[in-house]
Structure 1
Amino acid sequence: MGSEGPSAVSIYVTGFKKFHGVKRNPTEEIVTNLKEFMGKKGLPKGLSIEICEILETAGQGALNPLNQFFQSAILGLENLDGTSSNARRTIMIHFGVNSGASRFAIESQAVNEATFRCPDELGWKPQKTPIVQEDGGIGRMRKTTLPVKEMKRKLEEMEYPVVLSEDAGRFVCNYVYYHSLRFAEEHGIQSLFVHVPLFMTINEDKQMQFVASLLEVLASLIS
């Protein structure tokens, strides 16, 4: 088995458009520019960025494009003959902004609760609502299967300001992450959510370097 070498890793990435109080969402620019940036910098060996998608900052009303993104992630696992490829791993990485943060936050879990402090961009404002009704109550949690503690340690060694978080909030970021973790578990893939600060707190170049380092760390840990 070991002679087969490291598995190839396909990365599927999302960011968000503007939302209440944040007219310039850094994740929209990070994700939009990621392929070009990594093309110049060079991707870690065995890793490829397949899709970079910008999502509406909305919950229920934006589920269709989110589900299409999920479907594209599992279609990438299919060979031409329609059989699943065990040699390729798929990771979905979602980026969201925390306007009050001064550090990057690796989110370890999401909660089955939508309690929006303000309406999303499509006007929805749920309160203590289960994100997935069939999962039960709002106390249900789902955790990423990625080695987040090791990721944090390696990124700190690279001198990035980073924390490991167990609370992704109850707004759209948590909403998307919960759906993503549920989908990942069902299809044997992996999911991660990362909160970033505003560009006025950590500038764009530093944030792009952080995302590149995040991909490098992921490649090193799961190869």
Structure 2
Amino acid sequence: MILFTGFEPFGGAQENPSRLASREAARLSTAAGRAAVHVELPCTFGGARAVLLAALEEHRPAAVICAGLAEGRESISLERVALNLMDARIPDNAGAQPVDEPVEPGAPLALPTRLPVKRAKAALEAAGVPVELSLSAGSYVCNTVFYAALRAAPAGVPAGFVHVPLAEQLPVGRQAEALALIAAAALEGTGELRVPGGSEY
């Protein structure tokens, strides 16, 4: 079972492509013979984490692909590092605006993704989907969900976070295809590619 998550709209927006794309990715994966479920998360620091943890407990997934919107980016962003930090530029949908607070007090400052992001990047490039590796998932609710997923998913379960752009930059159908390909790469179990993927700054 693959668990896909996406967010409700936030910041006054009417829609959030991450929830549409993650829902469609679950359908595509199931149609391809990989059982999948989609769970929509509230865009609140406390609520998103609670719903995610409940979904992990209920579904016991073999892979966890969380998605969120990164307005201003033009491609799929495979996030590499989650930070134990909440520092909200704008309030969440419940009005909470934590500043310089940990996601989980006493836990490590940073955690690496458990997704084979370089292998996934190669798969997306082969499919003609614009994609990049990213070292920052921000410090808003997306990063909180990313960190919580890595802390809560059982050892050995691939888990990570993917930022998607606005639908005007990349149609939701292509976003969904990308998420399904990322999940497939995670379930292959062949490990990460040993190719350069860093940057100088």
- TM-score between the two structures when normalised by the length of structure 2: 0.85
Which of 114, 117, 123 aligns to 1:145? It is 114
Task: Report the alpha carbon displacement of residue 71 of structure 1 after superposing the two structures with TM.
Answer: 1.0
Report if the CA contact (8 A) 1:155-1:217 is conserved.
no
Identity %: 29
Task: Report the alpha carbon displacement of residue 187 of structure 1 after superposing the two structures with TM.
Answer: 4.4
What is the CA deviation profile of residues 110-152 of structure 1, one whole-angstrom value per residue up to 9, with x for unaligned ones? 000000110000111001101101216xxx1011233211221
CA distance in 2, matches of 1:146, 1:203: 23
Q: Cα 1:11–1:117, aligned 2, differ >3 Å: closer, same or farther?
A: same
What is the CA deviation profile of residues 26-45 of structure 1, one whole-angstrom value per residue up to 9, with x for unaligned ones? 01212333344445xx315x
Task: Report the alpha carbon displacement of residue 222 of structure 1 after superposing the two structures with TM.
Answer: 4.2
CA distance in 1, matches of 2:114, 2:172: 29
1:120 matched to 2:92:
yes
Ranges in structure 1 where 5+ consecutive residues have no aligned partner: 1-9, 77-89
Report if the CA contact (8 A) 1:22-1:99 is conserved.
no
Which of the pair has more CA radius of gyration?
1
Report if the CA contact (8 A) 1:16-1:95 is conserved.
yes
Where 1:133 maps in the other structure, the secondary structure is coil
Report if the CA contact (8 A) 2:21-2:173 is conserved.
no
Q: What does residue 208 of structure 1 align with?
A: 176
1:192 matched to 2:156:
no
Q: What does residue 45 of structure 2 align with?
A: 59
Q: What does residue 174 of structure 1 align with?
A: 143
- TM-score between the two structures when normalised by the length of structure 1: 0.77
Which of 43, 67, 70 aligns to 1:98? It is 70
Report if the CA contact (8 A) 2:44-2:141 is conserved.
yes
CA distance in 2, matches of 1:65, 1:219: 23
